[in-house]
Structure 1
Amino acid sequence: MSMNPRVPEPVGPILEDYISFVNKRLPGQINAFYLVGSIALDEFNEQFSDIDFVAVLNQTATSKEFEELRNIHRAIARNHPKWEMSGSYILPCDLGKLDDEIEPHPHYHDGVLHSNTSSDLNLVTWWELKNRGIAIVGETPHDLPFTVNWDLLLAKMRENLNSYWAGWANQPNRILRIYSDWGIQWTVTGVLRQFYTFSENSITTKVRAAQYALGCLPIRWHKLIQEAINIREGKKESAYRFRVLRMLEAINFLKYIIQVCNSSHPLR
């Protein structure tokens, strides 16, 4: 198959194998297959990124088709262990809907195909699909029959900020994860994506949001932000002598960014 030129070179063979498996084992069932997330935003990170997708089925998957999907993902994970796929299998009528508005559907995450569970479809996913999505199979994403309510997106993002991200600053099991390099890059760049959106009314990648923050946040936070960027870029040397101090700084940073984002006009 001819691969979309926006697909990163290492990802192409994975998708080719996946589509080949689907065509052989589930002929006619996949209506469309789109890439979202870091690939769609043109910032695939070979160390940290998943292959995020939204697949559209022609009809609700039967139990037999569910097992075929499970076997397909097991084969892909076995043949291509370096990168994980992550995404949902929905119906055409579900496009653009919030997760709690969609009937239970297959969802693949962390190496497991789940059924009868909610996934993580949200308005950011739909914005990425509509505005930056990459069609591997199916019509051009921009032509899909749904719109994204930007005000509702911001409202849902604020809820996420004050629940999920706040949890990283006050829940012991999450705080301990910030001790690691993974935890630093995840929390610092992740919350800065939301800071960028509230400030600029757009959506960008983790690293671009962090680079943006270096240009407008107080200098006291620059060391930590650059540390997160360096980790995502694969640079091993840390600017911090003690990881525990870096962790405490990250917790304070999370609290600061949440406070800033909760103001009416971040840094304006």
Structure 2
Amino acid sequence: MTQPDMLPRAVETVLTDYLERLDAERVPSLHGLYLVGSVALDDFRAGASDIDFVAVMDSEPSSGLRERLAQVHAGLTEAGGPHLDGPYLTVEVLRRVPTDYASVPFSLEGRFRDGEVCREVNPAVWRCLARHGRTVLGPPPSKLGIADDGEVLRAYQVGNLRTYWSRWIEQAETALAAKAPGDDASATALAWGVLGVARIICALETDRVVSKSGGGRHALAEHPGRWHPVIREALAAHEGAMERVPVETVREGLAYMRAAIATATGQTAACNDRT
């Protein structure tokens, strides 16, 4: 196993266990194993973050091999620790621009999935792997010929804001409407929403791949001061400083998300208007 520089101890422990289980289940050697997500972007938080990976195989796994991979991931989940989540792909898949999610074997929330659509087959993961992927096994990402298409990525990110995140805001607003005066709400949800949108906005504005924390820092630097208090609250929640926040804080977070999405999708210039 290649030793990526300065991996968190929890990540090293899970990776070592994973590779030992692959060997025990007689899984053929992977062509490559790469870390993406929070580990690759230096935003991994022990006890809160998952370990996101992309595993590259020489050929599509047979049904028998998929069963053995399922045993590997079941054993990891039973052992505890951060979930090890990601897709199993061939290098040929990485060399095609992903224009839609695909059905490939993958692990999500610690459970191996087969015959389901994997949302990690997307241009954002390809970009993160190409620019920031950390090599555990195999050649560096630069040698894989990853199809990193900026225009496709931008369209995907705008579509993600218009669909997933707009629906998320609506669902959150419905949940908050049922809250009584003085109630509180989940700080984790505040961080997930505000920083999840902020990182996409940062990518659209700078062409960079950033973590949730990086997206929050970008928002503090570039977005109007009106939003800074709720962005700081979201960053603090992301760091685990609190578990609950006032309902009004979440409402302000949703207002920021709506303004940022409207700006990014060309509906208004409200979020970045500094006048």
TM-score normalised by structure 1 residue count: 0.89
Q: Distance in 2 between matches of 1:169 and 1:101?
A: 23
Q: Deviations over 1:93-142 (max 9, x none)?
A: 1114416475x321110222111111121111011111110111111111
Give the 3-state SS of the residue equivalent to 1:45 in structure 2. coil
In the alignment, structure 1 residue 217 sits paired with structure 2 residue 216: no
Q: Over residues 58-83 of structure 1, what are the superposed CA-to-partner deviations in whole Å (9 max), with x where a residue is unaligned?
A: 2222222111111111111122x231
Q: CA deviation at 1:172?
A: 5.5
**Cα gap change, 1:161/1:61 in structure 2, threshold over 3 Å: closer, same or farther?**
same
Give the match for residue 90 of structure 2: 91
Identity %: 27
Report the Cα offset of residue 174 of structure 1. 7.6
SS at match of 1:215: helix
Contact kept? 2:76, 2:110, Cα under 8 Å? no
Cα distance between partner residues in 2 of 1:2 and 1:87 = 19
Name the residue aligned to 1:82.
81
Residues 10, 82 of structure 2: 8 Å contact kept: no
Residue 173 (structure 1) shift: 8.5
Tell me whether 1:251 sits opposite 2:250 in the alignment: no
1:186 aligns with 2:192: yes
Within-5 A mapping of 1:5-44 = 5-44=5-44
Aligned partners of 2:36 and 2:132 also within 8 Å: yes
Cα pair distance change 1:263/1:183, threshold 3 Å: same
Per the normalisation by structure 2, the TM-score is 0.87
Matched, 1:73 2:73: yes
In the aligned structure 1, how far is the partner of 2:174 from the partner of 2:85? 22
- 2:140 match: 140
- Equivalent residues of 1:189, 1:206 under 8 A apart: yes
Distance of aligned partners of 1:139 and 1:174 in 2 relative to their CA distance in 1, 3 Å threshold: farther
Q: Structure 1: give runs of 5+ residues left out of the alignment.
A: none
Return closer, same or farther for 1:173/1:78 CA change in 2, 3 Å cut-off. farther
Which whole-Å CA distance do the structure 1 matches of 2:211 and 2:174 have between them? 22
With over 3 angstroms needed to count, the CA separation of the structure-2 counterparts of 1:90 and 1:194, relative to structure 1, is: same
Aligned-partner Cα distance in 2 for 1:175–1:17: 40
Distance in 2 separating the partners of 1:106 and 1:61: 8
- In the TM superposition, 1:108-127 aligns within 5 A as 108-120=107-119, 121-127=121-127
User: Which residue does 2:266 correspond to in 1?
Assistant: 263
AA at the equivalent of 1:134: R
Write the deviation string for residues 17-65 of structure 1: whole angstroms up to 9, x where unpaired. Answer: 1111112323424221111111111221224321001111222222221
Cα shift at 1:244 = 1.8
CA, structure 1 residues 15+237, in 2 after alignment: closer, same or farther (shift >3 Å)? closer
Q: Measure, in 2, the Cα distance between the counterparts of 1:253 and 1:140.
A: 38
User: How many Å apart are 1:195 and its aligned residue?
Assistant: 1.1
TM-superposed deviation, 1:226: 0.5
Q: How does 1:150-169 map to 2 (within 5 A)?
A: 150-169=150-169
Change over 3 Å in CA distance of 1:93–1:28 after alignment to 2:
same
CA deviation vs aligned residue, 1:169-190 (integer Å, no higher than 9, x gap): 21358855x9311110100000
Cα deviation, 1:144-184, whole Å, max 9, x if unaligned, reads 112311111101110011001111221358855x9311110
- TM-superposed CA distance for 1:253, in Å, is 1.4
Structure 2 runs not aligned, ≥5 long: 177-183
CA distance in 1, matches of 2:214, 2:21: 35
